[in-house]
Structure 1
Amino acid sequence: MSPVQSENCLQIGRELTRGLGAGGNPEIGMNAANESKEAIEGALYGADMVFVTAGMGGGTGTGGVPVIASIAKSMGILTVGIVTTPFSFEGRRRTVQAQEGIAALRDNVDTLIVIPNDKLLTAVTQSTAVTEAFNLADDILRQGVRGISDIIMAQD
């Protein structure tokens, strides 16, 4: 995903991954989140609602986001998941990993929104660069979070 401007950034699995990510392996993503459980709890402390977002199919999001959601839910925080599934051109392995990650996430959120990246292809042309297509997917996630957040904040 695109870099996020935030006051509170948290690198999960600092010891396990040494900042190199999960290498497309959801088990490493899961272990990275578990390694950072206390830091995640600290970051979530005091929150009434948490959005967990990820592009599913790789390692960090697929393996880590269900753990983060589980931590949030165990803290009594309303937890909303918004994830994308891989583009079909990313291959069967990523699709299967995404399905498994979504199943794990579903058990740990109050609400889950799944956005198929392939649906985004209707918004681009054949000449659209792959990186631009991924950026579009990130933007859709951002818009989803903002839309839900705006609705909730308007009710306060």
Structure 2
Amino acid sequence: MKPTMATTPPSITLLKPRIAVISVGGGGGNAVNNMIMQYLEGAEFILANTDAQALSMSKAPRLVQLGPTVTEGLGAGSLADIGQAAADESIDEIMDHLDGMHMCFVTAGMGGGTGTGAAHVIARAGSPLSCNRNGWFAALIFENAEPT
């Protein structure tokens, strides 16, 4: 008699990867809003920003106020050091959002403030975690073009 393999298919939720897109700062906020408006499916969108007003206008379902003590919700004022300090203050909350993810992407603009200072903090913190210790972690960082 031949041994038989189990024929029960795995649960469909086990076959679907959990993907996080973490958008950082004003440029990241614009990126995530555009992704949501294009009805991109299959990813969980998270916006992390120092600017409380920008967070309140975001379409992202998951929001992280970066550095509420450092910036008091007023943004980084185009100062990368403030963006970095804000990310350092809030990194535990960001990592909580990554729990159980299989793939993670960080998007940010390099305009000099929150995205510039915070994106690398988030990418470094997530790298050893690799989201679920078996997934991918990528940083997608965009530099603002200088007018010519």
In which range does the TM-score fall when normalised by the shorter chain? 0.5 to 0.7
Match of 1:9 among 59, 63, 73: 63
Deviation sequence 1:117-153 (CA, Å, 0-9, x none): x8xxxxxxxxxxxxxxxxxxxxxxxxxxxxxxxxxxx
Q: 1:20 and 1:79 mapped to 2: Cα distance?
A: 29
Could you list the runs of 4 or more consecutive aligned residues of structure 1 that deviate by over 4 angstroms after TM superposition? none
Q: Which has the higher strand share?
A: 2
Q: Report what 1:46 is aligned to.
A: 100
TM-score between the two structures when normalised by the length of structure 1? 0.53
Percent identity over paired residues: 38
| Structure 1 SS opposite 2:76 | coil
Q: Which has the higher helix share?
A: 1
TM-score between the two structures when normalised by the length of structure 2? 0.56
RMSD: 1.7
Q: 1:63 and 1:9 mapped to 2: Cα distance?
A: 18
| Structure 1 SS opposite 2:63 | coil
Unaligned residue ranges in structure 1 (runs of 5+): 90-117, 119-156
Q: Report what 1:18 is aligned to.
A: 72
The residue identity in structure 2 corresponding to 1:19 is G
The structure, 1 or 2, with the larger RCO (C-alpha pairs under 8 Å, 6+ apart) is 2
Match of 2:140 among 65, 73, 82: 82
